[in-house]
């Protein structure tokens, strides 16, 4: 059974800072043979996308309302191009309703339009990692569900589900789930059972991967 601690549920207390875990540059892993982007016979696939780089909060501004930085918009577009190039396209999108998450999706839509398969869920802003798994399970969507959300929840979910997969990919995630980073996990069970499953990390894509 997947066990995800609820100890990382809070991240909005105190002054809001830009959520950027790529302050220290790391080379992205871009060998597709190692990424395992070619899908094996599985029952469901989960895409986990962290919003792109956001601006600092203005005085009195809610964390929820923080917008993307200009570089974040460009990163989201670059990631979308890489998703298309590597044929990593979801069939359904559930996006946090926070401004920076919505703007990440909007930037992606300028490259590859996902608007027709997207919906918004405020729970992806306010909940914890088990809450993310609950959103995925309730979707009942097996053929490529994407959650666009926030850290630390996305990283916690990705690490909890990634019992298998390329060691280099898992190691990259352990160094921090980067803004505009996309983890793809295959499961040998329907999405409705994601809360009790472990899967394979088959891809970890960033804006810098060509």
Q: How far is residue 152's CA from residue 149's CA, in Å, rounded to a whole number?
A: 10
Backbone angles phi, psi at 48, to 5 degrees: -120, 115
What CATH number does residue 75 fall under? 3.40.50.1240
Residue 142 maps to a domain:
yes
Closest CA to 67 of 98, 107, 88, 28: 98
Q: How far is residue 50's CA from residue 190's CA, in Å, rounded to a whole number?
A: 23
Instruction: Report the pLDDT value the prediction gives residue 201, as an integer from 0 to 100.
Output: 95
Pair 149, 105: CB distance under 8 Å: no
- Of the chain, the percentage scoring pLDDT greater than 90 comes to 68
Residue 15 maps to a domain:
no
- What's the pLDDT tens digit per position in 31-83? 343 344 444 567 999 999 999 999 998 898 999 999 999 999 999 999 999 99
Q: What is the number of structural domains in the chain?
A: 1
Residue 46 maps to a domain:
yes
Is the pTM for the entire model greater than 0.95?
Answer: no
Residue 141 maps to a domain:
yes
- What's the pLDDT tens digit per position in 125-156? 999 999 999 999 999 999 999 999 999 999 99
Residue 183 maps to a domain:
yes
Q: Where are the alpha helices (DSSP H) in 63-207?
A: 70-85, 99-109, 123-126, 129-139, 153-161, 167-174
- By residue range, what is the domain housing residue 86? 34-205
pLDDT at 25 over 50: no
Residue 5 maps to a domain:
no
**Mean local confidence (pLDDT), 159-180:** 90
CA 21 to mean position of chain CA atoms: 13
Residue 104 maps to a domain:
yes
Residue 8 maps to a domain:
no
**Mean local confidence (pLDDT), 109-126:** 98
Closest CA to 21 of 32, 6, 36, 11: 11
Average pLDDT, the chain: 84
């Amino acid at each position: 059974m997947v066990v995800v601690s609820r100890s990382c549920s809070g991240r909005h207390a105190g002054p809001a800072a830009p959520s950027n875990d790529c302050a220290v540059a790391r080379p992205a892993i871009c060998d597709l043979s190692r990424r395992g982007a070619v899908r094996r016979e599985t029952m469901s696939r989960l895409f986990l996308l962290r919003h792109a780089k956001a601006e600092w909060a203005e005085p009195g501004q809610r964390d929820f309302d923080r917008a993307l930085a200009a570089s974040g918009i460009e990163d989201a577009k670059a990631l979308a191009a890489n998703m298309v190039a590597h044929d990593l396209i979801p069939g359904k999108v559930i996006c946090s309703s926070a401004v920076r998450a919505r703007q990440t999706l909007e930037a992606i839509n300028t490259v590859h339009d996902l608007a027709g398969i997207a919906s918004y869920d405020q729970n992806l802003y306010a909940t914890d990692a088990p809450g993310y798994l609950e959103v995925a399970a309730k979707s009942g969507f097996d053929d490529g569900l994407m959650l666009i959300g926030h850290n630390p929840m996305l990283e916690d979910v990705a690490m909890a589900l990634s019992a298998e997969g390329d060691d280099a990919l898992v190691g990259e995630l352990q160094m921090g789930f980067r803004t505009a980073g996309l983890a793809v996990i295959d499961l040998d069970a329907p999405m409705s059972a994601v809360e009790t499953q472990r899967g394979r990390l088959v891809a970890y894509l960033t804006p810098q991967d060509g």
